[in-house]
Amino acid sequence: MRAVVQRVASASVDVDGETVGAIERGFLALVGVARDDTDEDAASIASKIAALRIFNDDAGDMNLGLREVDGSVLAVSQFTLYGDARKGRRPSFIEAAPGNAAEPLFERVVALIRREGLRVQTGRFGAQMRVSLVNEGPVTILLDSRKRF
């Protein structure tokens, strides 16, 4: 499982002109599920997202997490995180899990982050979404459940 986590001042997701998820300060987490991902991968990614300390403290150091800044998470499924463009000009998505396998694991990530007591909004799984964000920093972190922490 992969996630791209961006520290944001605000972020939102629209589907067909309707805002389906929006947050102020927090993380936009784009989450991709691989074909062979398991609950263990979901738990690993959720734990890392919930515990990331990438907000600046008074000294300007990245020492604060979501709880300390009263932040939220906007989680958006994104199968293209498993796009492989090493050959040719059109990416292959063979490593991405099909929707019926990916959706429960994505929902598991969301549930586990909520279990940590954090507020989570989501996009709409499988929909064509418009994601808007104000990246703060900019700060962008790549997470991969296969690269153990």
pLDDT exceeding 70 applies to what percent of the chain? 99
CB 22 within 8 A of CB 14: no
Which residues are the active-site residues? 78-80
Which whole-number Å values give the CA distances from 123 to 12, 25, 47, 64, 87, in the listed order? 8, 17, 20, 26, 31
Q: Which residues are within 8 A (CB) of 95 and not within 5 positions of it... i.e. 6 or more apart?
A: 34, 35, 82, 84
Q: How confident is the model at residue 148 (pLDDT cuts 50, 70, 90)?
A: low
pTM of the predicted model, to two decimals?
0.95
pLDDT for 26 equals 98
Q: Which residues are within 8 A (CB) of 88 and not within 5 positions of it... i.e. 6 or more apart?
A: none
State yes or no: pLDDT of 149 exceeds 60: no
CB 78 within 8 A of CB 86: no
Which whole-number Å values give the CA distances from 9 to 88, 121, 137, in the listed order? 37, 15, 9
Is residue 116 helix, strand or coil? coil
pLDDT for 50 equals 98
User: Domain 2-144, what architecture?
Assistant: 3-Layer(bba) Sandwich (3.50)
pLDDT for 147 equals 82
Find the length of the chain: 149
- Domain ranges within the chain, ordered by starting residue: 2-144
pLDDT digits (tens, 9 = 90+) for 60-111: 999 999 999 999 999 999 999 999 999 989 999 999 999 999 999 999 999 9
